[in-house]
Structure 1
Amino acid sequence: MARTRPLKVALLGCGVVGSQVARLMTTHAGDLAARIGAPVELAGIAVRRPGKVRDEVPPGLVTTDAAGLVARGDIDVVLELIGGIEPARTLINSAFEHGASVVTANKALLAQDGPALYAAAEKHAADLYFEASVAGAIPLLRPLRESLAGDKVNRVLGIVNGTTNFILDRMESTGASYGEALAEASALGYAEADPTADVEGFDAAAKAAILAGIAFHTRVGLDDVHREGITEITAADVASARQMGCTVKLLAICERAEDGRSVTARVHPAMIPDRHPLAGVREAYNAVFVEAEAAGRLMFYGPGAGGVPTASAVLGDLVAACRNKLGGGVGPGESAYARLPVSPMGEVVTRYHISLDVADKPGVLAQCAMVFADHGVSIDTVRQTGKDGEAKLVVVTHRASDAALGATVESLRRLDTVHGVASTMRVEGE
């Protein structure tokens, strides 16, 4: 190799993912050097607790001074794996200012401050790579940014959170309640001690913002993404979906309007037909279904989290950033030329599954059907069961706007014969 000085890499964070990145950089050093065209050297590893035993890490590389590490001036690439907004944002900006490119897995920061980070990278002629921020090891963002750069993506539909997929899979396969399935996910290490980011949809919403921005060449922020979690999903919802030949999944859906003039991004539970490829995604796996004008339907599937799988995505970005350093160029930056408006959730059009607790007496069905008709929501199927003066009415609609469906549900709640709206769920993937 003609280059004598190795490319120097600073690693910020040495947790589940960071420790595996350090290990793989050491054990695969020869292969990485051959693929890049120059050796790669870990120049320092910034951690919060230096006394923690880390078998994969040479102790002489560990420091608590992350700011000093990224500001050294001789670092070629910074790997940011600490997560959160601060100090990650400050450290990434400092890395750019001191001549380093950045590889990050920080979905929350990208969803909140992506445009500013892109601008900082461009200003300093540096790379910003983040394949590991969405769907772990699955090669997804690079195909969207590069392989499909000549195509028009119309829809991205995916399972991008392994914890919620595990919980919903257990509810379906074993009949467990939400609480029981969450407890199992926690015991197996799939759920954090505080699972809020996963089960309330925050994690998936950040990923949806990233996916929508890349797919539609439009800036989409976290506040643009409609978000609902899975905490209200019941065993009855799962059973009802099964009766329809469907399964319940937490989906991230990014789509272009039919007229092509706007986009939407949303995260919520939905029923999808068992015949859809996403219905068969089990355990904590992720899968993303991309619909493009010329390429057609593409599916990306694999482990969406975990130390080793995510480290694989980080190292792929590291190789790309190092190659660009050697070649004196940079990879793709932000592509937001389309500037499409993000439509509110009320304008989204889909089908719905509504479960109502009603009085079991003549005329109730006709009364409810009139409410649907008054709001312009067409009914596809109705199923009613009754016992001891109470009945369960399950209605599946044709396609309608979210605003129309919301108004319909509010009117139903005001009927004396409707004792409660047990659940409302969208039906997707048809």
Structure 2
Amino acid sequence: MTQTTPDSARTAVESDAAHADLSRRRTDRIGVAVLGAGNVGSEVVQILQRNAEDLRARVGARLELVGVAVRDTSRDRGIDTELLTDDPAALVVRDDVDIVIELIGGIDPARELINAALEHGKSVVTANKALLAEYTGELSQAAEKANVDLYFEAAVAGAIPVIRPLMQSLAGDSVNRVAGIVNGTTNFILSSMAADGQDYDVVLAEAGRLGYAEADPTADVEGYDAAAKAAILASLAFHTRVTAADVYREGITHVTAADLESARKLDCTVKLLAICERVDDGAGHERVSARVYPALIPLDHPLASVGGAFNAVVVESENAGRLMFYGQGAGGAPTASAVLGDTVMAARNRVFGGRGPLESTYASLPIAPIGDINTRYYVSMRVADRPGVLSAVAGEFSKRDVSIATVRQQGAGEDARLVVVTHFAKDSALSKTVEALKDLDSVRNVSSVLRLEVTDE
């Protein structure tokens, strides 16, 4: 005869089992492995050791640094040599490791190492924006399968808390737009150009001398770094998997001192913006736009006052309204702060049970092409200084339904220049207009085309 267990009794048994399992999971020690000992990695190691007692009180268990993977173990890094290893693959699967902090950057071997750690039940904290912009889905699935954490607050805007607010604080809201300055190198360059009137090449050299720009600044100045961060922000904000390849990208190398001066006369400045927003396709269907480019913004907008190497992100949601996050977007100590915040969260989960949120892609919205995006434009061109030029230029805008808001003529003779600011228009229409302008005999060249963002008509 088969006996059945009443629902109430079954619930009690399952509850007792869950509590027993939680007790077994609780520990007084969490083993931490760090991959990479550069600026950020070294800071993380120092904080772990210097603040050991405080961290223990916050976590409820001791955070024990059990290994640091580096390329050259003979180099003096101020780290106990017994902790150093040049075999990260072996380190991430060790039995005494509970949390792996990945700070080596790039796609490979970081991807393989993180996957191996997750598959072996280790929680992972990473600041690797390039990897996350391509493989967040793969890594999140691996973390979910292993029932462990994958945290990456430090991947976007350094010490500024942006990831967690999008994933948790605004989880009950609907985010409409995320726009910000997420690359300190380009912001330093553009801020200096605006302040001193110097050309791009001069300021870039100064940025390199001061340590704000890498020896090869391509990832920063061509917008690749910001595009990776935009992909992460868009994915989280709109519950849609967005990769770096989905992000329209332009860099700042073509921005001139004359553009900054013209922007000032329009009560604007120029910033490299990462913009992620919900857009309507005209038929009532939502899409996601993610784009990075230098743009004019009004001087009274909060982002206009963000100078130097600082970052700032503005989030606009239906109920919370406009929120702004501002602070140090890069550097060893600021980024290490975000890494340690994630590490404490992951450690608490190991001690008390549970797991943090992973990616949400339920919306699966299509990506809007840049040609469909409506914004305003600033177009600067060198022209012949003769009658009829303005009429010919205006005619090309009119043919493609691009309405002109203002026109300024600057200089004379060989230095004659027209600066046109449009009303809102589709990007595809503006692109066709620019190509037509280049074919006009009266237009010597179109020197600059910039968007004019975060403005009303």
Q: TM-score range by the shorter chain?
A: over 0.9
Give the match's secondary structure for 2:234: helix
1:74 shift after superposition: 2.8
Contact 2:27 2:351 (8 Å CA) reproduced = no
**What SS does the corresponding residue of 1:396 show, helix, strand or coil?**
strand
Q: Paired residue for 2:328?
A: 303
Residues 359 and 389, structure 1, Cα contact 8 Å, conserved in 2? yes
Larger radius of gyration: 2
Displacement over 4 Å in runs of 4+:
2-5
Whether contact under 8 Å (2:288, 2:365) holds in the other structure is yes
Secondary structure of 2:416's partner? strand
Match of 1:140 in 2: 162
Which residue of 1 is the match for residue 113 of structure 2? 91
Contact 2:66–2:96 (CA under 8 A) maintained in structure 1 = no
Correspondences of 1:401-420 after superposition (within 5 Å): 401-420=426-445
What pairs with 1:34-113 in structure 2 (closer than 5 Å)?
34-55=57-78, 57-113=79-135
Match of 2:148, SS state, is coil
CA drift at 1:327: 2.2
The one-letter code matched in structure 2 to 1:79 is I
For 2:88 and 2:351, locate their aligned partners in 1 and report how far apart those are by CA, in whole Å. Answer: 25
Instruction: Show the counterpart of 2:19.
Output: none
Alignment of 1:147-186 (within 5 A): 147-186=169-208
Structure 1 portions without partners, runs of 5+: none
Q: How does 1:171-210 map to 2 (within 5 A)?
A: 171-210=193-232
Structure 2 counterpart SS, 1:85: coil
Q: Which residue of 1 aligns with 2:268?
A: 246
Q: Distance in 2 between matches of 1:175 and 1:418?
A: 26
Query: Could you tell me which of 21, 26, 30 is aligned with 2:53?
Result: 30
Paired letter, 1:33: R
- CA deviation map 1:309-344 (0-9, x unaligned): 000000000011011111222110110100000111
Instruction: State the distance in 2 between where 1:4 and 1:117 align.
Output: 26
Moved more, 257-266 or 206-215: 257-266
2:400 to 375, 379, 384: 375
1:352 aligned to 2:377? yes
**Counterpart residue type for residue 274 of structure 2:** A
In structure 2, C-alpha distance between the alignment counterparts of 1:236 and 1:4, rounded to whole Å: 62
Mapped partners of 1:365, 1:159: distance in 2:
35
**Structure 1 residue 126, shift from structure 2 partner:** 1.0
Matched, 1:323 2:348: yes
Contact 2:187 2:271 in 1 (8 A): yes
Partners of 1:356 and 1:93 lie apart in 2 by 51
Whole-Å separation in 1 of the counterparts to 2:394 and 2:292:
29
- C-alpha contact 1:135 1:160 (8 A) present in aligned 2: yes
Instruction: Determine whether 1:10 maps to 2:36.
Output: no
Distance in 2 (alpha carbons) for counterparts of 1:388 and 1:254: 42
Q: CA deviation at 1:389?
A: 6.0
Q: Distance in 1 between the 2:415 and 2:72 partners?
A: 59
Q: 1: CA distance between counterparts of 2:408 and 2:216? A: 38
Matches of 2:378 and 2:413, distance apart in 1: 24
Instruction: Check conservation: 1:208, 1:253, Cα contact below 8 A.
Output: yes
1:32-74 C-alpha deviation (Å, 9 max, x unpaired): 111111111001000001112112x222100101000011133
Shift in Å, 1:388: 2.6
Deviation at 1:385, TM superposition (A): 2.9
Match of 2:18 in 1: none
What are the ranges of 5 or more consecutive residues in structure 2 without an aligned counterpart?
1-22
In structure 2, C-alpha distance between the alignment counterparts of 1:150 and 1:69, rounded to whole Å: 39
Letter in structure 2 aligned against 1:25: L
Matched position secondary structure for 1:257: strand
Superposed CA RMSD in Å reads 1.1
Is the Cα contact below 8 Å between 1:361 and 1:389 reproduced in 2? Answer: no
Q: 350-359 vs 204-213, which deviates more?
A: 350-359
Query: Is 1:365 aligned to residue 390 of structure 2?
Result: yes
How far is the alpha carbon of 1:109 from its aligned partner?
A: 0.2
**In 2: Cα distance, 1:382 partner to 1:33 partner:** 63
Is contact 1:73-1:99 (8 Å) kept? no
- Give CA-to-partner distance per residue, 1:212-231, whole Å, 9 cap, x none: 00000000011000010001
TM-score when normalising by structure 2: 0.92
Q: Give the Cα–Cα distance (whole angstroms) in 2 for the partners of residues 53 and 100 of structure 1.
A: 28
Query: How many equivalent residue pairs?
Result: 428
User: Corresponding residue for 1:124?
Assistant: 146
Q: In structure 2, which of residues 298, 312, 326 is the aligned counterpart of residue 287 of structure 1?
A: 312
Distance 1:173 1:388 in 2: 28
Deviates more, 1:322-331 or 1:61-70: 322-331
Q: Deviation at 1:364?
A: 1.1
Q: What amino acid is the match of 1:370?
A: G
- Matches of 1:269 and 1:195, distance apart in 2: 16
Given that 1:160 and 1:204 are in contact with CA atoms closer than 8 Å, whether structure 2 keeps it comes out as yes
Q: Percent identity?
A: 62
Between the aligned partners of 1:388 and 1:197, the Cα distance in structure 2 is 39
Residues 183 and 311 in structure 2, CA contact (< 8 A), matched pair in contact too: yes
Q: Is the 8 A contact 2:28 2:60 kept in 1?
A: no
Q: Deviations over 1:7-37 (max 9, x none)?
A: 0001000110000000000111111111111
Contact 1:157-1:288 within 8 A present in 2 as well: yes
Q: Secondary structure at the match of 2:34?
A: strand
Deviation at 1:401, TM superposition (A): 0.7
Residue equivalent to 2:12: none
C-alpha deviation, 1:359, in angstroms: 1.3
* Contact 2:252/2:272 (<8 A) preserved: yes
CA contact (8 A) 2:384 2:413 kept: no
SS of the residue 1:254 aligns to: strand
Deviates further, 374-383 or 68-77: 68-77
